[in-house]
Amino acid sequence: MKRTISIMLLILVLAVSVVFAGGDKEEAKDEKIIRIAEQVPGLITPGVWDGQAFSMNGSIYEYLAEMNPDTGELEPLLATAWETEDGSTWKFTLRKGVKFHDGSDFNAQDVKYTIERTQDPTIGHLKKQDFEVVSSIETPDNHTIILHLDEPRPTFVYQLTDYNMAILSSEYDYASLGESKPMGTGPFMMQQLTPKESALLVRNPNYWAEGLPIVDKLAIYFVPDIDASISMLESGRVDVVPFITQVIKTRLEKNPDINVISPYQEMRFISMRVDEKPFNDNRVRLAFKYAMDPQIIARSVAQMDLNDGIFYNETPIMNILAEYKEIPLRGRDTKKAKALLAEAGYPNGVSVPMYYASDHPFGKELAQTVQELAAPAGFDIDLKGYTRDIYLSQYWMNVPLSITGWAGRPDPSMLLLLAFRGGGSWNESHIDNPKINALIDNISEEANEAKRLSYYHELQEVFYEEGSLIDVQVPLLIAVSNKIVNYRHPLTQIPQYKYMDVK
């Protein structure tokens, strides 16, 4: 027994010595700090950043422009101005006196490097396809950059607000330091990063905007479990938990210290694959659409009224966008749906599996509601729920019927090219409709705004008649302690912590 005890003591001593690697404290007196519980990120280097830990990366890095969450307009950030004649040449005037966290100056070479980096095959840049259109880059002086595009892209500036287009320093080794020592021009700098566990960010003393950021520190915990994150919020150990579910929202509503806010909507595409039976027949797609009841979907999925935080249409354009065309909703008509199905050769109804991400907010609720609604019209839906990583890595592009979460894009043409143009890389419904393709091309190349809008409207009518999707727009829910003042979170998905304050 003595031996056992001494072995154990030895292990204990070893463990103690490993663990006793203290660091900088989270909180000192008279400091303002915002504490955030985020999901555990995978890769965080811009370019291959997997779209988690927005609070961390969005505070360290900056973009040429940022979006004002109240107006939806782009405002200058690292670029002070931008102009284009017809969308094929873009001139950006860059901000002077900006420094990276390592002390080097920000200039046109950095922007050039950031854009050229998208085409580096060894990186696997997620914006490679969107920036293939850039044919050449000119830097006439240190604070001007001119992009020449192969084709006109009148809304190209929005591409530069994509979260993977953070401006990087041309002199920094992101290949070996991007994951361990992220470095940009942003309002906060990384002080201490414990991978997969936590990050402590401190105010950038040389930040170019006077008076910003308002708080001194951001403490970010990476918590794998959303319920654990909520427990931390309830016990006052963190102030912000992004991306919560409706069930948690209901639970938090009783708590006077916590607000649940919804800065914008996200989309859930109920997507019908058009190159395979049964949805290759437009009558089957129409029958499915006639089986739906938007009001019931809104109530049962989010316990909200339609058009009050949750929206429904049959096109890829979100209701809140300027490009949206209001088309009256189809009433629910199961008789008509049945007749259409019979006409299409399915008099006894049709069986079809529906795939969805069961752990994604609103995924399960939406799938079950759709299943119930479609049944009386003759759709026998077999629900196949998988966790989101499995759903996205194995199913979503190859199944007849699916529910996929999509973030809204400030410029919808980015989404159209990706998901609804024939040959688009995330074209989950496999739609390759000549009318739609032509309209999408017109939209992405037309410089005249009024004309572009008319193409958008025409496109939405085509989608209403023969499209491949139902678009349910669910609220993005963020739980915020009421100590936090001025929480800002625009459609670009980057929360703007520099403007926030703590009571």
Partner 1 sequence: MNKTLLFILKKLGSLLATLVIMSFIIFMLVEIMPGDVAQMILGQSATPEAVSALREARGLNDPVLKRYGRWIAGVAVGDLGDSIYMQGVAINSILWRRVGHSIILALTAFIMFVPLSIFFGVLAGVKENKLSDSIISFFGLATMALPEFVSGVFLITIFAVQLKWFPIVSVIPIGESLFSNLNILILPALSITFVMFGYVSRMQRSSMIQVMNSDYIRAATLKGMPRSYVILRHALKNALLPTITIIGMNMGWLFGGLIVVETLFGFPGMGSLLMIAIKTRDVPLIEACVLLITVIFSLSTMTTDILYSFLNPRIRLQGGQR
Q: Is 425 in the site for partner 1 (CB under 8 A)?
A: yes
Residue 252: which region, alpha, beta or left (left: phi > 0; alpha: psi -120 to 50)? alpha
Kindly tell me the burial class for residue 54, based on how many C-beta atoms sit within 10 Å of its own C-beta (0-12, 13-18, 19 or more). Answer: buried
Q: Is 223 in the site for partner 1 (CB under 8 A)?
A: yes
Q: Is 288 in the site for partner 1 (CB under 8 A)?
A: no
Q: 335-374 mask for partner 1 (x: CB under 8 A)?
A: ----------------------------------------
Smallest Cα–Cα separation from 37: which of 50, 19, 56? 56
Q: Is 435 in the site for partner 1 (CB under 8 A)?
A: no
Q: Is 450 in the site for partner 1 (CB under 8 A)?
A: no
C-alpha separations of 349 from 107, 288, 293, 295, 367 in Å = 63, 11, 19, 24, 19
Q: Is the separation of the CB atoms in 400 and 353 below 8 Å? A: yes
Instruction: Work out whether strand 350-357 and strand 401-406 pair parallel, antiparallel, or are unpaired.
Output: parallel
Q: Is 407 in the site for partner 1 (CB under 8 A)?
A: no
Q: Is 198 in the site for partner 1 (CB under 8 A)?
A: yes
In angstroms, give the least distance from the CB of 222 to partner 1: 8
Q: Is 234 in the site for partner 1 (CB under 8 A)?
A: yes
Q: Which stretch binds partner 1 (CB under 8 A): 193-201, 205-213, 259-267, 324-332?
A: 193-201
Q: Is 26 in the site for partner 1 (CB under 8 A)?
A: yes
Residues, the chain, total? 503
In angstroms, give the least distance from the CB of 17 to partner 1: 8
Kindly tell me the burial class for residue 157, based on how many C-beta atoms sit within 10 Å of its own C-beta (0-12, 13-18, 19 or more). Answer: buried
Q: Which of residues 372-401 bind partner 1 (CB under 8 A)?
A: 389, 392-394, 396-397
Q: How far apart are CA 90 and CA 92, in angstroms?
A: 7
96: helix, strand or coil: coil
In angstroms, give the least distance from the CB of 49 to partner 1: 11
Q: Which of residues 104-163 bind partner 1 (CB under 8 A)?
A: 121-124, 126, 128-129
Instruction: Give yes or no for a cis peptide into 278 (omega within 30° of 0).
Output: yes
Q: Is 2 in the site for partner 1 (CB under 8 A)?
A: no
Q: Is 402 in the site for partner 1 (CB under 8 A)?
A: no
Q: Which of 75, 151, 171, 225 binds partner 1 (CB under 8 A)?
A: 225
Q: Is 180 in the site for partner 1 (CB under 8 A)?
A: yes
Q: Is the separation of the CB atoms in 55 and 217 below 8 Å? A: no
What count of Cα atoms within 13 Å lies in the side-chain half-sphere of residue 488? 16
Q: Is 48 in the site for partner 1 (CB under 8 A)?
A: yes
Q: Which stretch binds partner 1 (CB under 8 A): 23-31, 53-61, 360-368, 436-444?
A: 23-31
Q: Is 45 in the site for partner 1 (CB under 8 A)?
A: yes
Q: Which stretch binds partner 1 (CB under 8 A): 22-30, 97-105, 257-265, 454-462?
A: 22-30
Rg (CA), the chain: 25
At residue 386, what are phi and psi to the nearest 5 degrees?
-130, 160
Q: How far apart are CA 481 and CA 315, in angstroms?
A: 36
Q: Which of 71, 136, 235, 486 binds partner 1 (CB under 8 A)?
A: 235
Report the residue number, 123 or 438, with the smaller CB distance to partner 1.
123
Report the residue number, 142 or 387, with the smaller CB distance to partner 1.
387
In angstroms, give the least distance from the CB of 424 to partner 1: 9
Q: Is the separation of the CB atoms in 421 and 437 below 8 Å? A: yes
Q: Which of 93, 144, 231, 358 binds partner 1 (CB under 8 A)?
A: 231
Q: Is the separation of the CB atoms in 44 and 182 below 8 Å? A: yes
C-alpha separations of 179 from 44, 156, 384 in Å = 6, 28, 35
Q: Is 176 in the site for partner 1 (CB under 8 A)?
A: yes
Q: Which residues of this protein are in contact with partner 1, per CB under 8 A? A: 3-4, 7-8, 11-12, 14-16, 18-27, 40-45, 48, 121-124, 126, 128-129, 175-180, 192, 194-200, 219, 221-225, 228, 231-232, 234-235, 237, 389, 392-394, 396-397, 418, 425-426
